[in-house]
Structure 1
């Protein structure tokens, strides 16, 4: 076989391999983003009117922009403080639900910024957080929207406010809980554990939001 014929054969085999394996590579990338972002993937597709390619591009850009964003440590004292403040808001909800929702929105935003998610806009902050907290960040969106509605002066159903506050709790717990990058802090303070919202120092449960189950954090 001549050299030219051999080159043509190799090129043809390479093209065939590309045709065979390219769909699986694309599917792997798509599947990886779908698994990573979960509900955020569906939200992105909906925002792009069903255009999956546009949604995948947007999510890829989030990873590129925010994937290496350094997450700041929280001291054990800061964790306990945030947890105690959240528990206090749960108690306040019974008598002043709208105020509790607005304060919870402010508290979660403060915690996010301290964790390193400081952005020029709320949407950018949500995008940054979605890279590591894709399965819980929408709860913060719901809480933020509900807080805005209560500021508008309109009447909002207490049940809707309760649901918004409960939906944001998972993200709060993820942010306040010790993360892998905080191992140094845990070693220096082995006996200090954050008091999560369902537990107080005295072992008593704080006042709960009506209808909420305050089981152990997973």
Structure 2
């Protein structure tokens, strides 16, 4: 075997080893990126993956673009008096649910979008942008806004479905009106709505004991 042949074989082997290393690092990087996105977005990750038909690359690109665009937003605090005003409005719409469930849910959608705008998220007339920004900072609870929006604009929805949408939206309301108005995210742990808070919504008029 000539010296030239040996050199060519060695060069080919080195090229194969380097290529294998690049592929291996790419796979590790992809897996790590997936884990990070799943941890950050929680249920929003699964929803985005489903929306993209299971195409992980498209879903990841969507989520990363949201983080790049909205991740560094400086959220505005709520003054205590403003926060109390919003809490009073939420309490009233929950009580109104007994007599007018659809209107109460419509009021909840309007109130959530208004509070989000007050905190520095895009304005209510930019619905998709506002949802995208909320999904970055409140990924565990942004579905609450989608729930009330879907219920309000559905042609046929039961009182029970309206109630469930409003209960679901409560967690996002609590995040947006958090005492002290801190600008953190809810990405750590989803907080269930307590039984005490559900109580206003459990018994629409005529539902019985």
TM-score by length of 2: 0.77
Q: Cα gap change, 1:81/1:92 in structure 2, threshold over 3 Å: closer, same or farther?
A: same
Q: Residue 156 of structure 1 aligns with which residue?
A: 157
Alignment match of 1:20 (pick from 20, 24, 28):
24
**C-alpha distance in 1, partners of 2:84/2:198?**
14
Q: Residue 166 of structure 1 aligns with which residue?
A: 167
**Structure 2: where are the runs of 5+ without partners?**
1-10, 185-192, 205-209
Offset at 1:148? 2.1
**C-alpha distance in 1, partners of 2:157/2:28?**
48
Q: Residue 135 of structure 2 aligns with which residue?
A: 130
Do the aligned residues in 2 keep the contact of 1:112 with 1:175 (CA within 8 Å)? yes
Offset at 1:131? 0.3
**C-alpha distance in 1, partners of 2:198/2:54?**
44
The one-character-per-residue Cα deviations of 1:18-76 (angstroms, maximum 9, x if unpaired) are: 33333112211111011111111111111111111100100010001111122111001
**Structure 1: where are the runs of 5+ without partners?**
1-7, 183-196, 199-203, 213-218
Q: Cα gap change, 1:156/1:11 in structure 2, threshold over 3 Å: closer, same or farther?
A: closer
Q: Residue 4 of structure 1 aligns with which residue?
A: none
Offset at 1:17? 3.9
**C-alpha distance in 2, partners of 1:72/1:207?**
31
**C-alpha distance in 1, partners of 2:147/2:197?**
26
1:1-218 alignment to 2 at 5 Å? 15-119=19-123, 121-149=126-154, 154=155, 156-177=157-178, 178-181=180-183, 208-210=200-202
TM-score by length of 1: 0.74
Q: Cα gap change, 1:77/1:122 in structure 2, threshold over 3 Å: closer, same or farther?
A: same
The one-character-per-residue Cα deviations of 1:97-125 (angstroms, maximum 9, x if unpaired) are: 11111111111111011011124521111
**C-alpha distance in 2, partners of 1:205/1:12?**
62
Q: Cα gap change, 1:160/1:28 in structure 2, threshold over 3 Å: closer, same or farther?
A: same
